[in-house]
């Protein structure tokens, strides 16, 4: 989502007559996009911006701006921590950035814009995209789930869905420009349309599956992905659509967070481990070749060895294709920040390491089952690590590495898998 926001603001600025600089040192305006989901990201942001003090001293005309969740979280208080900022702008105000910069160029004031947290963004379609074949398309903003560890509802506001016809217009435009794959983005894509009325429609008449069906019929688009699904909203209807709609990729990212019901309750996740397991079983029943990935937090307040053991068991039982795993860190004002951060740093680190090692073994085992099979791979480009190799993704979102040629970039080719690692499939084009 943050990537798409950066791309969107870049596009707005290009359309307003600005140009991309070739380096930070040569730039007249430097904008940092920020994530506050984990404290570590926030600490790095503060240190990276503070590092520009000398540059700003040498070039007082330099404009330094902050956008994203940290800007929203701290509002004007961010200026106490980062006095070198010229502007700070929350996610809801990002469409205003070209105007904010022009204002600063004319008046040299400091601007903090965080008042549009719950508003729909204006429907602007800047042409700029970082990739030529794959595009991120936001279908909604904000979240109403209030998972107790999560800052998102406080910095991205209440859940609101974009009107379907605007999304479809954007995807048709992308298809017309040669894009092959769209990734539909939202904090909880499965609840699309449930909260916000969609220009007179509601979830009974138009929901996420209807949106998938409409996008599936757009000529030129060959692949549809989506992220993120919440286990409480991922439905049989969705899994049937994933089975039946030929362009919808067979990959489900379904954050588990913990295998302990006690911790899930404290996290306010609205499902139990058993219910989660059933959801995955149902998905695999309908999308038998599908992959499943997840997110896990270790060391949530009061997580015992026993709770952690339940997470380990879930990971072993489900055998995810991949997992993003994190150490818990309190994110005020999220509710869990009021709980004692009781698991020591050492224990969090040990638990995280154990899970990463376990998941590596499982990912390798899952990938080994694919040796000898042929997959459709959308070719991204040359492999940065191995000369003469190319890389792309399977429909199941696995990275494939193979001998290829530049003319394959942006095309879907068949790749026969000859060897695997936990994180990639290696093969040859057939
Ligand atoms: S579903 Fe939970 S974790 Fe995801 S954005 Fe919403 S509050 Fe945060």
Over the stretch 389-406, which tens digit does the pLDDT of each residue have? 999 999 999 999 999 999
- 278-369 fold: Transcription Regulator spoIIAA (3.30.750)
**Is 80 exceeded by the pLDDT of residue 340?**
yes
**Is 80 exceeded by the pLDDT of residue 195?**
no
Over the stretch 211-257, which tens digit does the pLDDT of each residue have? 999 999 999 999 999 999 999 999 999 999 999 999 999 999 999 99
Which sequence spans correspond to the domains of the chain? 2-113, 131-249, 278-369, 374-429
In the 8-state DSSP scheme, what is residue 198? B
> Does the fold of domain 374-429 match that of domain 2-113?
no
187 CA to centre of ligand 1 in angstroms:
6
**Is 60 exceeded by the pLDDT of residue 140?**
yes
Residue, of 25 and 276, whose pLDDT is higher: 276
Q: How far, rounded to the nearest angstrom, does the alpha carbon of residue 210 sit from its chain's CA centroid?
A: 22
381 by DSSP, 3-state: which? strand
The strand pair at 412-420 and 389-394 is best described as unpaired
Q: What value does the mean pLDDT of the chain take?
A: 95
Q: Is the CB of 171 under 6 A from ligand 1?
A: no
The confidence band for 203, taking pLDDT boundaries of 50, 70 and 90, is low
**Is 80 exceeded by the pLDDT of residue 197?**
no
Average pLDDT over residues 53-73: 95
Residue of 160, 187, 329 to mutate, ligand 1, most atoms within 8 A of C-beta: 187
**Is 90 exceeded by the pLDDT of residue 138?**
yes
Ligand 1 atom nearest the C-alpha of 188 is: 1
Average pLDDT over residues 18-46: 93
**Is 70 exceeded by the pLDDT of residue 14?**
yes
Rounded CA gap, 151 and 334, in Å?
5
Q: Is the CB of 230 under 6 A from ligand 1?
A: yes
Nearest Cα residue to atom 2 of ligand 1: 147
Q: Is the CB of 150 under 6 A from ligand 1?
A: yes
In the 8-state DSSP scheme, what is residue 120? P
- 131-249 fold: Transcription Regulator spoIIAA (3.30.750)
E strands present in 41-81: 63-68
- The pLDDT score that the predictor gives to residue 297 is 98
Partners of 65 in the β-ladder: 31, 87
Looking at the domain covering 374-429, what would its CATH class be? mainly beta
Following DSSP, what letter does each residue of 312-349 receive, concatenated?
HHHHHHH--SEEEEEE----TTSGGGGS---S-HHHHH
- The pLDDT score that the predictor gives to residue 309 is 98
- The pLDDT score that the predictor gives to residue 194 is 82
104 CA to centre of ligand 1 in angstroms:
35
Sheet of strand 291-298: strand arrangement: 251-253, 291-298, 322-327
Which H or E run includes 377?
A: strand 374-382
Length of the chain (residues): 430
**Is 60 exceeded by the pLDDT of residue 338?**
yes
Looking at the domain covering 2-113, what would its CATH class be? alpha beta
Closest-CA residue to 267 (of 214, 311, 204): 311
By percentage, how much of the chain surpasses pLDDT 90? 90
Average pLDDT over residues 328-337: 95
pTM for the whole structure: 0.94
- The pLDDT score that the predictor gives to residue 63 is 97
Q: Is the peptide bond before 231 cis (omega within 30 degrees of 0)?
A: no
Structure tokens at 415: 């790749």
- The pLDDT score that the predictor gives to residue 202 is 59
- The pLDDT score that the predictor gives to residue 196 is 64
Q: Is the CB of 151 under 6 A from ligand 1?
A: no
Average pLDDT over residues 103-123: 92
């Amino acid at each position: 989502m943050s990537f798409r926001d950066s791309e969107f603001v870049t596009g707005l600025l290009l359309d307003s007559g600005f140009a991309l600089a070739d380096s930070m040192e040569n730039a007249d305006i430097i904008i940092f996009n920020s994530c506050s989901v984990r404290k570590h990201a926030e600490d790095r942001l503060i240190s990276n911006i503070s590092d520009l003090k000398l540059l700003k001293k040498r070039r007082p005309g330099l404009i330094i701006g902050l956008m994203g969740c940290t800007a929203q979280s701290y509002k004007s208080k961010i200026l106490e921590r980062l006095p070198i900022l010229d502007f700070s702008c929350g996610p809801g105000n990002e469409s205003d950035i070209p105007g904010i910069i022009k204002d600063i160029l004319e008046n040299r004031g400091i601007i903090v814009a965080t008042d549009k947290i719950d508003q729909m963004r204006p429907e602007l379609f800047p042409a700029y995209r970082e990739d030529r074949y794959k595009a991120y398309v936001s279908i909604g903003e904000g979240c109403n789930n209030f998972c107790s560890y999560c800052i998102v509802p406080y910095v991205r506001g209440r859940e609101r869905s974009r009107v379907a016809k605007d999304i479809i217009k954007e995807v048709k435009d992308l298809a017309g420009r040669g894009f092959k794959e769209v990734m539909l983005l939202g904090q909880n894509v499965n609840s699309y349309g449930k909260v916000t009325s969609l220009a007179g429609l509601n979830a009974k008449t138009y929901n996420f599956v209807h949106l998938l069906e409409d996008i599936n019929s757009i000529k030129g688009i060959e692949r549809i992905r989506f992220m993120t699904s919440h286990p409480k909203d991922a439905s049989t209807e969705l899994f049937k659509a994933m089975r039946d709609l030929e362009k919808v990729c067979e990959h489900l990212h379904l954050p588990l967070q913990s295998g302990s019901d006690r911790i899930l309750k404290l996290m306010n996740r609205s499902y139990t481990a058993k219910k989660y397991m059933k959801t995955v079983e149902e998905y695999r029943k309908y999308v038998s070749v599908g992959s499943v990935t997840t997110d896990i937090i270790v060391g949530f307040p009061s997580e015992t060895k026993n709770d952690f053991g339940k997470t380990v068991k879930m990971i072993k039982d489900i055998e995810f294709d991949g997992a993003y795993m994190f150490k818990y860190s309190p994110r005020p004002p999220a509710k869990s920040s009021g709980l004692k951060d009781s698991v020591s740093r050492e224990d969090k680190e040990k638990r995280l390491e154990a899970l990463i090692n376990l998941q590596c073994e499982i990912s390798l085992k899952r990938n080994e089952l694919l040796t000898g099979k042929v997959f459709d791979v959308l070719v991204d480009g040359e492999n940065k690590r191995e000369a003469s190799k190319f890389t792309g993704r399977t429909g199941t979102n696995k990275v494939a590495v193979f001998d290829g040629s530049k003319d394959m970039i942006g095309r879907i080719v068949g790749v026969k898998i000859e060897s695997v690692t936990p994180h990639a499939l290696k093969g040859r084009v057939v």
